[in-house]
Amino acid sequence: MEMLYQRDIYGKTLVELGRQDKNIVVLDADLSGSTRTSLFAKQFPERFFNFGVAEQNMMATAAGIASCSKIVFVSTFAIFATGRAWDQVRNSVAYNNFDIKIVATHAGITVGPDGASHQALEDIALMRVIPNMNIIVPCDGPQTADAVMAAVNNKGPFYIRLGRPKVPTIENKGEFKLGKAQVLTQGNDIAIIACGIMVDEALTAAKSLLNKKIKARVINIHSIRPLDVETILKAAKETRGIVVCEEHSVIGGLASSVDEAVAENFPAKVVCLGIKNRFGQSGEPADLLKEYNLTNSDIEKAALSIAS
Amino acid sequence: MEYTAADIKRLEDKAKEIRRLIIQMLAKAGSGHPGGSLSATDLITALYFSVLRYNPKDPSWPDRDRFHMSKGHCCPLLYAVLAESGYFSKDKLLTLRQLGSILQGHPDRRTPGVEAASGSLGQGLSVGLGMSLAAKMDKKDYRVYVLMGDGETQEGNIWEAAMASAHYKCDNLCAILDYNGFQIDGMVCDIMGLEPIASKWGSFGWHTIEINGHDIKQILSAYEEAKKIKGKPTIIIARTVKGKGVSFMENVCDFHGRAPTKEEAEKALKELE
């Protein structure tokens, strides 16, 4: 299976975009090597600005640049983009509805050894409460490019969430459309809804479930906003229940999005796998996923609890 | 550029008219911030009616100079100046803070002539920095002006922006500090002192100009001097009087965030005849 850094794809896509469109400007806050905006900086130094360790200034400066009819990409780690600079994102970026694309890397528990201070487990929640903000959580390398293109081709602010480690490329996902979920496997026994790195875990769980004669419908919700409520409700109606899994707090992210959609329209059994009222900690990504019950066997267990 | 006595008189009269509009709109709205609107009136009146390059018929003209009011709570001043400049009709001023009005309690892009929202303090200098960088990328010669409050500069974001503006040699950026000495809770020097303010900005790499912010002649020559400074941004540190122009509002902290009553407004307007 092909393994890619989402960040590598982001950096390369930025360079391509920069070549096509002189209106694209990129900002970073002393993490351009990690976020890979350094690739753009190398090619287009006159359209790249490093703000040093000052994320609030970077975010509000993005607003000023965007007010002059430019498309501005802003990158840093997810914890700083959404936490440190939240007020700037709310008031200067989203309230103005500017063309600012926040592409944050190092989201989730799989940041690994750096530990809790650097593991953003609440970033989707923090962005989801802000009006105007579009949110994409790509599941692999190629989908990262799709997400970046969608952000450029649609007006307004975006938050794109990327991880730190290499991730497997998911085959046969079908067309990428903003706001449209991807149904990866067909099945009416159980639905497994996932985003980001959990999509691959969900597919592995589905394979194992099939051996037990349980057909799982795996759904990749890459667009947390706009949300494909229709596909979620269809799953709620046609299956015995839904397992939601995400590398994020169960409060405010994908799990909450699914809960809200289902509860308001077609109450169904939903089991959420995510971070439950805990900070992260140091460790290797695989060990952390085990520690926080985010592996394919955890998904399988949750699915069996509903389906059997 | 030389300004004649007639130029100065014209701007002084204009400032008086702007102050009248501020009082009228705040009295009608029943809430808002008169103190800091009145203290910055001369600075911003001189800017809009003698310095700034703009076209009210085409608010998004790419070559316009940019003005951003970082101390967003003083938007009655901005709205009065924009209406007086012809961005929208003056009768709209009396809709300030009402449901559905184009004139929100703090600046919003729905108002013609407003470049970006403000109100959450400390972000505006960064917004101005962004406009300045955009001008440099596009090789345009427009200038960027940002009005900050003195209390506002207690925000850390301001100093991040100060550092970055000097780093990127933003000589098309001119910050204006309305140093009226008061913030909501009291005198700035008691709440969180800023001194030595000029040397702080100077050590951050800015050209500093200190003026009396109610002397039109000094204001105009400060804007002229700022235009000539190359390789670094300029800050005009303007000593002002909170509530300037209305005797019973001057240096009265209560009028930071309280609108005048109907009686107070009548009294104020009489003083501004």
CA B97 to CA A156: how far, in whole Å? Answer: 26
Question: Which whole number is the average pLDDT over A11-35?
Answer: 98
Whether pLDDT at B180 is above 80: yes
Q: Which one-letter DSSP state was computed for residue A90?
A: I
Same domain for A22 and A158: yes
The domain containing residue A224 runs over which residues? 182-307
Domain co-membership, A139 together with A12: yes
Tell me the three state secondary structure of residue B229. Answer: coil
Of A57, A68, A98, the CB nearest to B160: A57
Query: What's the angle, vertex CA A20, arms to CA A15 and CA A22, rounded to 5?
Result: 90
Nearest-CB residue to B116 (from A25, A46, A92): A92
Is B120–A65 a contact, with Cβ atoms under 8 angstroms apart? no
Closest CB to B137: pick one of A46, A67, A90. A46
Q: Do A87 and B156 touch (CB under 8 A)?
A: no
The pLDDT, as a whole number, for residue A1 is 84
**CA-based Rg of chain B, rounded to a whole angstrom?**
17
Element (H, E) at A191: strand A190-194
Q: Answer yes or no: is pLDDT of B1 > 80.
A: no
Answer yes or no: do A88 and B157 touch at CB < 8 A.
yes
Residue B106 touches chain A, beta carbons under 8 Å: no
The verdict on A87 touching B (C-beta cutoff 8 Å) is yes
* Same domain flag for A18 and A152: yes
- Average pLDDT (A216-242) is 98
What one-character DSSP code corresponds to residue A82?
I
For residue A143, which of A104, A113, A183, A172 has the smallest C-alpha distance? A172
- Tell me the mean pLDDT in the region B49-58: 98
The residue of chain B with its CA nearest to that of A63 is B127
A231 and A106 part of one domain: no
For residues A205 and A232, membership in a common domain is answered with: yes
- Asked if residue A134 lies in contact with residue A167, where contact means CB atoms within 8 angstroms, the answer is no
Domain limits for position B58 = 5-271
pLDDT at B249: 97
Cβ within 8 Å, pair A64-B138 = no
What total of structural domains would you count in chain A?
2
Are residues A45 and A144 located together in one domain of the fold? yes
| Cα-Cα end-to-end distance for chain B | 30
**Yes or no, beta carbons of A67 and B133 under 8 Å apart:** no
Dist CA B213 CA A104 (whole Å):
43
B169 and chain A in contact, CB less than 8 A: no
Question: Which residue of chain A comes nearest to B60, CA vs CA?
Answer: A68
A259 residue type, one letter: D
Element (H, E) at B225: helix B216-228
How far B195 CA sits from the closest chain A CA (Å)? 23
Are the beta carbons of A250 and A260 closer than 8 angstroms? no
Give me the pLDDT at residue B2, please: 79
d(CA A247, CA A254): 9
pLDDT tens-digit map of B136-166: 999 999 999 999 999 999 999 999 999 999 9
Same domain, A15 and A156: yes
Domain boundary among A168, A198, A214: A168
Distance CA B18, CA A149 (A): 47
**Residue in A51, A54, A91 closest to B123 by CB:** A91
The per-residue pLDDT of chain A, averaged, comes to 98
Given A2, A16, A46, A55, the catalytic residue = A55
Among partner residues B115, B122, B129, which is closest to A61 by beta-carbon distance?
B129
Residue A213 lies in a domain: yes
pLDDT tens per residue, range B187-226? 999 999 999 999 999 999 999 999 999 999 999 999 999 9
So what's the pLDDT on residue A121? 98
CA distance A281 to chain B (A): 29
Instruction: Quick: pLDDT tens for B95-128.
Output: 999 999 999 999 999 999 999 999 999 999 999 9
Q: Which of A208, A196, A207, A206 is nearest to A275 (CA)?
A: A196
Of A25, A60, A65, the CB nearest to B157: A60
A173 located within any domain: no
Q: What is the dihedral of CA A47, A52, A57, A61, to 10 degrees?
A: 0
ipTM for this prediction: 0.97
With cut-offs at 50, 70 and 90, classify the pLDDT of residue B52: very high
Query: Is A21 a member of any domain?
Result: yes
Please tell me the distance in Å from B207's CA to the nearest CA on chain A. Answer: 20
Question: How do residues B67-90 score in pLDDT, each as one tens digit?
Answer: 999 999 999 999 999 999 999 999
- Does residue A308 carry a pLDDT above 80? no
Cβ–Cβ below 8 Å for B164 and A66: no
Same structural domain, A200 and A140? no
- Give tens-digit pLDDT for A128-155: 999 999 999 999 999 999 999 999 999 9
What CATH number should be reported for the domain holding residue B208? 3.40.50.970
Instruction: Name chain A contacts of B175, Cβ cutoff 8 Å.
Output: none
For tokens 């400066």, name the residue.
Answer: A61
Q: Which residue in chain A has the smallest CA separation from B166?
A: A51
Query: Which pLDDT score is estimated for A47?
Result: 98
CB A28 within 8 A of CB A161: no
CA distance B213 to chain A (A): 26
Tell me, yes or no, whether A176 lies in a domain: no
Contacts for A32 with CB less than 8 Å, ≥ 6 apart: A38, A41, A48, A50, A75
Q: Is the per-residue pLDDT at A282 higher than 80?
A: yes
Q: Does the active-site annotation cover A230? A: no
- Contacts for B135 with CB less than 8 Å, ≥ 6 apart: A68, B141, B142, B143, B144, B172
State the pLDDT at residue B196. Answer: 98
A66 touching B (Cβ < 8 Å): yes
Cα B184 to Cα B43, B102, B117, B118, distances in angstroms: 21, 26, 21, 18
Residues of chain A found within 8 Å of residue B168, distances taken between Cβ atoms: 49
Same domain for A136 and A16:
yes
Selection from A228, A183, A224 nearest residue A206 by Cα? A183
CA–CA dist B226, B208 (Å, integer): 9
Q: Which CATH number characterizes residue A45's domain?
A: 3.40.50.970
CA distance B164 to chain A (A): 7
Identify the band that residue A213 occupies on the pLDDT scale cut at 50, 70 and 90.
very high
For A151, phi then psi, to 5°, come to -65, -35
Note whether A51 and A160 are same-domain residues.
yes
Q: How far apart are CA A95 and CA A111, in angstroms?
A: 30
> The domain spanning residue A260 has which CATH number?
3.40.50.920
State whether B131 and A57 contact (CB < 8 Å): no
Helix (H, G, I), strand (E, B) or coil at B239: strand
Question: How many structural domains are present in chain B?
Answer: 1
Per-residue pLDDT at A235: 98
Is residue B166 less than 8 Å (CB to CB) from chain A? no
> Which tokens sit at B125?
């200098």
The confidence score (pLDDT) of residue B238 equals 98
Residues A163, A203, single domain; the answer is no
Write the pLDDT tens digit of every residue in A101-134.
999 999 999 999 999 999 999 999 999 999 999 9
* Whether pTM exceeds 0.95: yes
Residues of chain A contacting B129 with CB distance shorter than 8 Å: 57, 61, 64
Contacts of B2 (CB under 8 A, 6+ apart): none
pLDDT tens digit string along A33-56?
Answer: 999 999 999 999 999 999 999 999
- Whether residue A57 lies within 8 A of chain B, CB to CB, comes out as yes
Q: Is residue A107 assigned to a domain? A: yes
Report yes or no: A143 and A84 within 8 Å, Cβ to Cβ.
no
| Residue-averaged pLDDT of chain B | 97
